[in-house]
Amino acid sequence: MTPVISFTLSRLTALVALSLFSATVARTTSPVTSEEMRIHGEASWRVATSLWGSAPWRPSGPSGFGPSANRLRFEQIRLQVARQLSPRLGEGVTVAILDTGVDSEHPDLRGVLNHAAAYDFITRQSGAGEEEGGSYTGHGTAVAGIIHQIAPRARLLPLRVLTAEGRGASDNVARAILYAADQGANVINLSLGCAQRKPVITAAIENVMARGVIVVSSVGNQNRASADYPAAEAPQAALLVSVGSVDAQGTKSSFSNYGNTEVNANGERVATLFPGGTTNVTGTSFATPQVVGLIALALAEGRTPREVTERLVGGAERLDALSANAPYLGQLGGLVNATRLYPAPSLAQR
């Protein structure tokens, strides 16, 4: 029987991370089993409700999406200086987005989506558009919009593994991970997860890492002292990176899990795309694609996968010194510093 997982969405005003931040995801080809989980939040994969309440996520209105929409957030991770070292802007790199799908007709994504290889692992059909009318419709499009802002020439491969209500089956996620690598993905964005380890997903990640594919997974939004899986396994896996969320001051976001976190970005009220428009979103689901975008930039400049992940984690700026982070001493990882992905000490010290 296919195990069903509820992935916690990190919110477009609160969505997921395999990237979804809240909500309970539920439709698969098999009946629900005792392994059913909820999205990051209440149980395992539920949207962080501490900031946004318990109502299903809805877009908060036009965000002013564009080069300056997230200027302060991107300055926090040193993107501007890194851009000087990334003239290819992600060109030649393919990023797979395993999520609720992506709006295939969004004008801001024109020319960057791999429509030919996009696939829906729920309906078993080509294409991976968003399902309308769900509590988490738009989560995948929001993730894609953030990656595109950071690495605008990277190719995006949408793979639908979560319903519009934020649920998905672990075997579908595993199949999509393997499929992504088969289609030439260099990086995989997982803004989703669950509280229990899923061997089938672990095996798929090990398979693609052996092929040089980097997997980036959000830690979840329950303010819990352990990350959701598969992010929880990142410290033992060279090409698996776990991502948490901080605020503009570098303080741990109230919803972000901790304990197995390696790196962080600002996942609060991030301006991004929504089907047919733009919005602002919050959650570890939306810190994760920022890290994915930075990885795409570095890979496009000829860095090896191992070099990128070592520099990413090793060069992150420690957060323990902040008094507000004192309760999480040694459990937060660091704030991403994009310049550390490049061997340019003079720029990295700016």
Asked whether the beta carbons of 126 and 120 are under 8 A apart, the reply is yes
CB atoms within 10 A of CB 324: 13
Say if residues 266 and 272 touch (Cβ distance below 8 Å): no
User: Across-strand partners of 97?
Assistant: 158, 189
Q: Does the active-site annotation cover 139?
A: yes
**Catalytic one among 6, 170, 242, 285?**
285
Q: Which one is catalytic: 44, 86, 99, 218?
A: 99
Catalytic residue among 22, 139, 217, 242: 139
- Using alpha carbons only, how large is the chain's radius of gyration in Å? 17
Check if 86 is active-site.
Answer: no
Domain-wise residue ranges, the chain: 4-348
Contact 98, 161 (CB under 8 A): yes
The helices-and-strands tally (H runs, E runs) of the chain is 9, 14
Q: Identify the CA nearest to 220 among candidates 2, 52, 4, 17.
A: 17
pLDDT at 276: 87
Q: CA-CA-CA-CA torsion for 243, 249, 251, 252, nearest 10 degrees? A: -30
> What are the Cα distances from residue 16, in Å, to 9, 138, 146, 218?
2, 11, 14, 8
pLDDT value of residue 41: 22
- Where do runs of H (alpha helix) occur along 139-190? 139-150, 170-182
For strands 270-274 and 263-266, give the pairing. Answer: unpaired
* Residue where the block lists tokens 């290819």: 88
Query: Residue 216 in contact with residue 189, Cβ under 8 Å?
Result: yes
Note the pLDDT of residue 349: 46
- Residue 344 has a pLDDT of 56
Q: Where are the alpha helices (DSSP H) in 151-228?
A: 170-182, 199-209
Q: What superfamily would CATH give domain 4-348?
A: Peptidase S8/S53 domain (3.40.50.200)
99 carries an active-site annotation: yes
Q: Which helix (H) or strand (E) holds 49?
A: helix 49-52
Phi and psi, residue 217, nearest 5°: -130, 135
In a structure prediction context, what are the per-residue pLDDT tens digits for the chain, which is 350 residues long? Answer: 333 344 444 433 333 333 343 322 222 233 222 233 333 322 222 232 222 222 234 444 445 566 578 999 999 999 999 989 999 999 999 999 999 999 999 999 999 999 999 999 999 999 999 999 888 999 999 999 999 999 999 999 999 999 999 899 999 999 999 999 999 999 999 999 999 999 999 999 999 999 999 999 999 999 999 999 999 999 999 999 999 999 999 999 999 999 999 999 999 999 999 998 898 999 999 999 999 999 999 999 999 999 999 999 999 999 988 999 999 998 999 999 999 999 855 444 44
